[in-house]
Chain A
């Protein structure tokens, strides 16, 4: 027996080593035994799973799924529930890891699989109660007729795929993270919605406004942050009259302009924003006499893409478009009668309230003159390779209270928490089946949050746009800044009734459009918060192009989606060049650069050098102009404001530099200094980066989980900020769609990525090249499966 001891110990030790995930530099090496096994592990992930096969499913009838050459599935089912079962199955088969990671991000459960690196993210998600609101939402879905069957069918489809795969067939990300796929529930689907709501809910700058109000004089504040851009071109044209008066309280309330955060010099506006473009043109303005609808949704780009394209046929609907893995139905698309799309409205649906605790235990807080109990909810954050973190989140009348970042002891009142008992599946159900403008309005009345600009066109010739989603009515003066949480009088006074929300059908100008700009002009009876969230230039540009166009074709719409004209540059650069030239300060290399800029057509083309010069110059100019604000830690005004001041007030005090006490600078001085700084900055660029705009911008599309090498590393792209083609470094149009509402409708689509979430699949990124070359795929609804030949197919029969 003694001789058995050594080999048994060595064998056991070796196998134990191969079975354990090993911590390495704050990360984990997956258990090598199964991971490196050529029969099970990563080696098996090199084969794409793109075969045809049959399976038994929880359906009542047969379902056929036919795949076209781009691997876009066309589901043919006898009833809606069977179709949604198939949709859930396909989502899991192609995006399981994406679905998992995005819901983990929202629920604060990333650390369970990643480790200590994501604790701060998880803590923030827990503090903000996202999972709690998703759980409440999922509970209430069943209250509405038909929704339970819909969600059950979808969830069963996801789980049917999860149950069908063993380790060998896991998505490779699970193998790398050594983490099992978990069963899907309707709470996960609710978290998918929550995750999108978080991404699109941007109006979170109450503290920045508080700081600005406290540190600037009332006169300066009004000068720098006016409510409206005089040049703005709102979504609803001025022909619309508002035949109602605003409901709700108009009594001013106590806001807290003096409750300041630590100095924040980071300008939130600089972040890439989840904006979008959409427009619909009436038949009177098109070459073929049919309305045309266009939509491109701007989001952070990843591989795999956030969207999954598909077509669904049931006896009650035939619909094509993009779905959001984790949710049933098509999110943006078209059916046989209508097309629809969305942009983010950017309305402020999140407010911060300062909480006054009774003592350091933070169990009771002051409300309406007395101390009331906070509801304590324990949260356990499991951390891979470390002890779990136990936290207690305090829920107040206003919402959950955060205690870790600059919002310390502030309660978050968010539309997502207030509207848990809602039927947001209803919107998707109705819009997918809508046949006319009345159905469309009925559908968008069910849309909840965050507010979006829902655009519409139909084969009957109608076009429309609605600002859909619940928007709070606040007491006067509330919502923009941090507010006192001591009085319930500061609370929201309800929501703008759907009938009062801005919308227009068949406007006289022959088109509807939105690019995240202001929904309506100042004549709209309700105050709408959301200035400074998005820039106005894209919206103005879209409307300028459409105002001056007739005889439009789908090809013109494609060109327009890729329009690279920068209106901001067109309005500012001549002013700057004039100041520079008239000062006579330019010399050396600068003369050649100024000459190039004089001849520029303001197009942000990837091969052009001029955008590099302008971009660098503008950054320097902005930095020098707003040096006072930077010094105070005050947010920067909207970018149109600096253009107006430069054009109209060249002697403005804002051009005077803080660092020079003996001189009062003017626009000319700032133009000269910033231009010289730009020339230096350009010289310091790496050689390749200074060649053209595409090289300078360095667009790349990372892998969803930021695994290096699984994304697209460098792509030379045109477009940028303030431009209809809003392609930035890692952000841009995530889905481009143009639909001509002929009978039947025809569409042209593309998105940066591919249908498969498997990096080994030929469909992982097969649309990328065409996308960046500006090419589209023509699609039409294939109602009869017998009329086309699929590349592969999956047949589902009842169990």
Chain B
């Protein structure tokens, strides 16, 4: 691989990330809506493995996508009743405020996406090596 090919490869890989994030956002949203709670994680693993993303790209894609999806959904749902129920539930769970509940939700989505992406990337590279 010469220098020119390396640059082209890097550019192509770079361009993959935003596309992967868009796929991941839509896919994990749909997986979450129609599958069990762990379906978005499985989707991210498969996506990162099949797209051949690097570890760094996969971690970025998975964490940002699922974090954003969880954040967006949490904001959307809490807006339905002005966060009344979430506030009461948060109090029940040790006094968490609605903002903390949203942050905890986002964090769980973020970490789940991060680990799923990482695992997907490693599975992808392991399979392609074989």
- Using a CB–CB cutoff of 8 Å, the interface residues on chain A facing chain B are 1, 3-4, 7-8, 10-11, 14-15, 18, 24, 29, 32-34, 36-47, 172, 176, 707-710, 759-760
A760 to B30, CA, bound (A): 25
Residue numbers in A under 8 Å from B36 (CB-CB): 34, 40
Least CB distance, B53 to chain A, in whole angstroms: 13
Docked-complex contact A36 and B104, CB < 8 angstroms = yes
A38 to B88, CA, bound (A): 16
Least CB distance, A174 to chain B, in whole angstroms: 13
A467 to B29, CA, bound (A): 62
Between B70, B74, B105, B118, the greatest number of chain A beta carbons within 10 A of the residue's beta carbon is seen for B105
The 15 listed contacts between A and B (C-beta, < 8 Å) are: A1-B126, A4-B126, A7-B118, A34-B36, A34-B37, A36-B104, A37-B37, A37-B70, A38-B105, A39-B37, A41-B37, A45-B89, A46-B86, A47-B77, A759-B85
Residue numbers in A under 8 Å from B85 (CB-CB): 42, 45-46, 172, 759-760
Q: 9 additional contacts, CB 8 Å, given A18-B108, A34-B37, A38-B105?
A: A3-B125, A15-B41, A18-B112, A29-B93, A39-B32, A46-B77, A46-B81, A172-B85, A176-B89
Residue numbers in B under 8 Å from A760 (CB-CB): 81, 84-85
Docked-complex contact A42 and B86, CB < 8 angstroms = yes
Name the contact of B115 in the complex, choosing from A10, A40, A46, A172 (C-beta under 8 A). Answer: A10
Docked-complex contact A3 and B32, CB < 8 angstroms = no
Docked-complex contact B88 and A759, CB < 8 angstroms = yes
A11 to B118, CA, bound (A): 9
A14 to B88, CA, bound (A): 27
Docked-complex contact A3 and B126, CB < 8 angstroms = yes
Docked-complex contact A39 and B122, CB < 8 angstroms = no
Interface string of B91-130 (1 = CB under 8 A from A): 1111000000000110010011001101100110110000
Least CB distance, B9 to chain A, in whole angstroms: 21
Least CB distance, A663 to chain B, in whole angstroms: 54
Docked-complex contact A39 and B126, CB < 8 angstroms = no
Which B residues from 14 to 53 make CB contacts under 8 A with A? 32-33, 36-38, 41
Least CB distance, A693 to chain B, in whole angstroms: 29
SS class, residues of chain B in contact with chain A:
helix
Query: CB of B73 within 8 A of chain A?
Result: yes
Name the contact of B77 in the complex, choosing from A11, A38, A172 (C-beta under 8 A). Answer: A38
Least CB distance, B38 to chain A, in whole angstroms: 7
Docked-complex contact A4 and B32, CB < 8 angstroms = no
Residue numbers in A under 8 Å from B70 (CB-CB): 37-38
Least CB distance, B28 to chain A, in whole angstroms: 10
Query: CB of B6 within 8 A of chain A?
Result: no
A24 to B96, CA, bound (A): 15
Docked-complex contact A40 and B119, CB < 8 angstroms = no
Query: CB of B5 within 8 A of chain A?
Result: no
How many residues of chain B get a CB closer than 8 Å to chain A's CBs?
38
A312 to B26, CA, bound (A): 47
Q: Which residue of A lies closest to B72 (CB)?
A: A38
Least CB distance, B98 to chain A, in whole angstroms: 11
A38 to B69, CA, bound (A): 9
Q: Which residue of A lies closest to B112 (CB)?
A: A14
Q: Which residue of A lies closest to B125 (CB)?
A: A3
Residue numbers in B under 8 Å from A39 (CB-CB): 32-33, 37, 73
Q: Which residue of A lies closest to B123 (CB)?
A: A4
User: Which 3 A-B residue pairings sit nearest by Cβ, starting from the closest?
Assistant: A38-B73, A39-B32, A37-B37
Residue numbers in B under 8 Å from A8 (CB-CB): 119, 122
Query: CB of B80 within 8 A of chain A?
Result: yes
Q: Which residue of A lies closest to B33 (CB)?
A: A39
A14 in contact with B74 given A172-B89, A176-B89, A709-B92 (CB within 8 Å): no
Q: Which residue of B lies closest to A176 (CB)?
A: B92
Least CB distance, B52 to chain A, in whole angstroms: 15
Docked-complex contact A3 and B122, CB < 8 angstroms = yes
A42 to B87, CA, bound (A): 11
Residue numbers in B under 8 Å from A11 (CB-CB): 41, 115-116, 118-119
Docked-complex contact B105 and A4, CB < 8 angstroms = no
A544 to B118, CA, bound (A): 80
Least CB distance, A1 to chain B, in whole angstroms: 7
Least CB distance, B112 to chain A, in whole angstroms: 7
A4 to B74, CA, bound (A): 32
Docked-complex contact A36 and B122, CB < 8 angstroms = no
A33 to B111, CA, bound (A): 12
A10 to B121, CA, bound (A): 14
Q: Which residue of A lies closest to B28 (CB)?
A: A39
Docked-complex contact A44 and B118, CB < 8 angstroms = no
